[in-house]
């Protein structure tokens, strides 16, 4: 992931293809942007299974299996929820790796505890699950773009690390 001229979705695609892996996404705050960027890469059908835009909590619960307890106790923008989203996407999409995002892209919706730009991202590769909290700056489109870049890079780094 060190080629600054190649978009992260292309770098991730090459890595997945070279290892014979597939991936899928479960997106909330990015609204399908990660899946859009992936499917813009020619040949991505060889390694991308699909994406779920689980913007509303009932979709997170009913389609991805996120627990009501996690949503009630921690909120949709939390480590617990993105981890469950990533696991649910792997189960539903039958893939080797997944990415999940949940956050506050703005301009509204933030709070003192979770301001605009707060984004949780989870990456799942095999049995390895990593979730990270980010605080992005900028307008809605910039937060979505930064979240997408961070997610794609996170998964590629996990795969490279083995």
- From first to last of its 162 residues, what are the pLDDT tens digits of the chain? 457 889 999 999 999 999 999 999 999 999 999 999 999 999 999 999 999 999 999 999 999 999 999 999 999 999 999 999 999 999 999 999 999 999 999 999 999 999 999 999 999 999 999 999 999 999 999 999 999 999 999 999 999 998
- Does residue 3 sit within a domain? no
Task: Tell me if 123 is assigned to some domain.
Answer: yes
In a domain, 1, yes or no: no
Reply yes or no: is the peptide bond before residue 39 cis, omega within 30 of 0.
no
The predicted-structure confidence for 44-86, as pLDDT tens digits, reads as follows 999 999 999 999 999 999 999 999 999 999 999 999 999 999 9
How remote is the C-alpha of 120 from its chain's centroid?
Answer: 9
Integer Cα distance of 82 and 26 in angstroms: 9
- Establish if 52 belongs to a structural domain: yes
Residue 83 lies in a domain: yes
Residue 2 lies in a domain: no
Whole-prediction pTM = 0.96
In a domain, 43, yes or no: yes
CATH of the domain at 126: 3.90.950.20
Total domain count, the chain:
1
Which range marks the domain in which residue 144 is found? 8-161
**Alpha carbon distance 23, 96 (integer Å):** 6
| Tokens encoding 125 | 């590769």
């Amino acid at each position: 992931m060190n080629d600054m001229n190649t978009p992260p979705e292309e770098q991730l695609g090459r890595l997945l293809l070279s290892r014979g892996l597939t991936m899928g996404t479960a997106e909330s705050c990015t609204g399908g942007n990660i899946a859009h960027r992936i499917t813009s890469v020619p040949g991505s059908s060889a390694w991308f299974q699909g994406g779920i835009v689980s913007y509303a909590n009932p979709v997170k619960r009913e389609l991805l299996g996120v627990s009501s307890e996690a949503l009630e106790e921690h909120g949709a923008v939390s480590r617990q929820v993105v981890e469950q989203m990533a696991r649910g996407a792997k189960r539903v999409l039958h893939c080797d790796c997944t990415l999940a995002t949940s956050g506050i892209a703005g301009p509204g919706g933030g709070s003192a505890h979770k301001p605009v730009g707060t984004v949780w991202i989870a990456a799942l590769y095999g049995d390895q699950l990593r979730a990270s909290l980010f605080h992005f700056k900028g307008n809605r489109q910039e937060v979505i773009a930064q979240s997408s870049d961070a997610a794609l890079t996170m998964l590629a780094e996990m795969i490279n690390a083995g």
